[in-house]
A and B are shown apart, each in its own frame.
Chain A
Amino acid sequence: MKILVCISHVPDTTSKINFVENNTKFDTAGVQFIIGPYDDYALARAIELKETLSATVTVLNVGLAETEPTIRKALAIGADDAIRVNAVPTDSFFVATQIAEHAKGYDLILMGRESIDYNSGVVHSMVGELLGLPSVSPVMKLDLEGTTVKMQREIEGGKESLEATLPLIAGCQEPIAEWKIPNMRGIMSARTKPLTVVDPKAVDAPVNFQKYELPPPKGAVKMISEDNVAELVTLLKNEAKVL
């Protein structure tokens, strides 16, 4: 059983978002990068499966050398080896194409439901289409019974139970597993685990991110006394006009 976990290298969730070079580039100054939180759930589930089945877990990241600490962290959490596709992850289709190139031969391809930088939530489904395999997202529960995969997918206002057979692609979210924190032994062994760097496949970019902007700043909050709750209702009606 071979599991591939695709991870994004993204700004920590507490990062201040800013752009430089005339708003054409993300400002990385002072930003700490992490494994995408949804990808981290996918990785945690893969490690659980590895512990109960005899599986190997490979992590894949599309990124330049700067992402290697993030990849090493995934190895420290328990992945066996890693592939880094040496390229800037310019858009979803580019990333999906690189994943599809390396995903052949894996039984289960897991990743987060979306990356927390661009939030498009489409890479898993693109990989599925490129490989002609079923792809399911957002998956909140995933169990294996032989080659049958039993899953739960979150839908608006509820959940859906699904079944499919391997090989399969899943975009994961909580509560599929709990995030795992690497231990000292994991961190030590991660240093020597194989990390293969490969060149990307050329893709005609279907989109181009031209420029970025920040939302307008929020006005000051109006405080209302807890003894005068009716005033809030009046403001919501007459000022905000939302009631």
Chain B
Amino acid sequence: MAILVFVESADGKIKKTSLEAVAYAHAMGDKVTAIALGTIDKAELTAVGKYGASKVLTVSDERLNQGVIRAYAAVLAQAIQAESADTLVLANSSLGTPVAASVAVKIGASLASNVVGLPDTSSGFVVKQSIYTGKAFAMVEMKNQKKVIGIKKNAVELKEVGGDATVSDFTANLTDADFGTKITATEKATGDILLPEAEIVVSGGRGMKGPEHWGILEDLAKTLGAATGCSKPVSDIGWRPHHEHVGQTGVKVAPQLYIAVGISGAIQHLAGVNSSKYIVVINKDPEAPFFKAADYGIVGDAFTVVPKLTDAIKASK
């Protein structure tokens, strides 16, 4: 049976988490076809072959240059049918997650979100899903013949396994009803490293005292090639934009390294960072609860420690 993988792009590039979805499907061992919606450079599409897709479908309908959830779902459901696929794999994201849900209803599939590892098929088809905001996992049996799997960042290791994929056009039948929502504007930081995808995150809390002090965190982030994040009160008061808010009610990150500066480590903040591989905490209070969740800690004033750290990283390069 074939697997279809929905790949998303940002700034004209296929997202890394989408390439992980291709690698995931490849590791499942079936024939993998990827599908990209909207206008994307052909070289980007053929390169998806490196991670295990033999074919990439491209749907160049101008209306799909914007991520309209139900329209995307309609295209994917039709592609699943056309490719005789029984499984759809995609990366969970602000677009991928709702699209996965729509497709699952359209095709009568079992759906799992935030899947962290390959399926166990020794008895049925069971995937491991992250639940309770990273505080636990569930083993979910997907019972229907058709399946939609949304994967969390780092569900599989990204390695090159193949060459170029062949690219072919796919035409979908879309009605006006599929475009029931109209996107009127998009505001997006371009060129920046996106927080949910970042390998290193530098995050600041209320201990930073004010937005005018974010410069030292930005310098550190720049030196590390990191994205910047913040705690909830920081975005609530408007020191930082809302999409940088990390935690239970914000972005859940899963970087290799999370550096928390002037954040106390409330359980709701930890819920958004507990999938990080390593955590560094810088806080002037030795009793800050964040130290208990950290791998490395420095007790000290952010305003002296952070510039020293930036310099030390520069010196070590």
Determine if B144 and A206 form an interchain contact, defined as CB atoms under 8 angstroms apart.
yes
CA distance A84 to B73 in the complex (A): 30
Interface locus among A42-50, A102-110, A149-157, A189-197: A149-157
CA distance A205 to B142 in the complex (A): 9
What's the tally of chain A residues with a CB closer than 8 Å to chain B?
79
Interface residues as binary, A199-243 with B (CB distance below 8 Å gives 1, 0 otherwise): 000000111111111110011011111100110111111001011
Determine if B105 and A130 form an interchain contact, defined as CB atoms under 8 angstroms apart.
yes
CA distance A158 to B130 in the complex (A): 25
Which chain A residues border B140 with CB–CB below 8 Å? 207-210
* Inter-chain CB contacts under 8 Å: number: 269
Determine if B248 and A209 form an interchain contact, defined as CB atoms under 8 angstroms apart.
no
- Asked whether any CB of chain A lies closer than 8 Å to the CB of B292, the reply is yes
A158 and B98 contact, Cβ closer than 8 Å, known pairs A129-B105, A218-B293, A236-B280: no
Which chain A residues border B186 with CB–CB below 8 Å? 155, 158-161
CA distance A210 to B73 in the complex (A): 29
What's the tally of chain B residues with a CB closer than 8 Å to chain A?
95
- Asked whether any CB of chain A lies closer than 8 Å to the CB of B224, the reply is yes
- Asked whether any CB of chain A lies closer than 8 Å to the CB of B23, the reply is no
Determine if B248 and A13 form an interchain contact, defined as CB atoms under 8 angstroms apart.
yes
Look across to chain B and name the residue whose beta carbon is closest to the beta carbon of A237. B316
A243 is contacted by which of B10, B92, B108, B313 (Cβ under 8 Å)? B313
Determine if B101 and A92 form an interchain contact, defined as CB atoms under 8 angstroms apart.
yes
Determine if B139 and A215 form an interchain contact, defined as CB atoms under 8 angstroms apart.
no
Within 8 A of B (CB), among A80-112: 92-93, 96
Which chain A residues border B256 with CB–CB below 8 Å? 242
CA distance A206 to B141 in the complex (A): 9
Closest CB in chain A relative to B52 CB, distance in Å? 24
4 extra A-B contacts, CB within 8 A, seeds A134-B181, A160-B183: A164-B182, A210-B140, A215-B135, A237-B316
Which chain B residues border A222 with CB–CB below 8 Å? 295-297
- Asked whether any CB of chain A lies closer than 8 Å to the CB of B14, the reply is no
Determine if A121 and B267 form an interchain contact, defined as CB atoms under 8 angstroms apart.
no
Closest CB in chain B relative to A99 CB, distance in Å? 12
- Asked whether any CB of chain A lies closer than 8 Å to the CB of B216, the reply is no
Closest CB in chain B relative to A116 CB, distance in Å? 6
CA distance A219 to B112 in the complex (A): 30
- Asked whether any CB of chain B lies closer than 8 Å to the CB of A78, the reply is no
CA distance A122 to B140 in the complex (A): 16
A119 and B291 contact, Cβ closer than 8 Å, known pairs A226-B299, A230-B316: no
Closest 10 CB pairs of A and B: A226-B300, A158-B188, A122-B101, A125-B101, A134-B180, A129-B105, A125-B98, A120-B113, A206-B110, A161-B185
CA distance A119 to B251 in the complex (A): 12
**13 examples of A-B residue contacts, CB within 8 angstroms:** A117-B132, A119-B131, A124-B98, A155-B243, A164-B182, A206-B109, A206-B111, A206-B143, A215-B274, A222-B295, A224-B297, A233-B313, A236-B280
Determine if B113 and A93 form an interchain contact, defined as CB atoms under 8 angstroms apart.
no
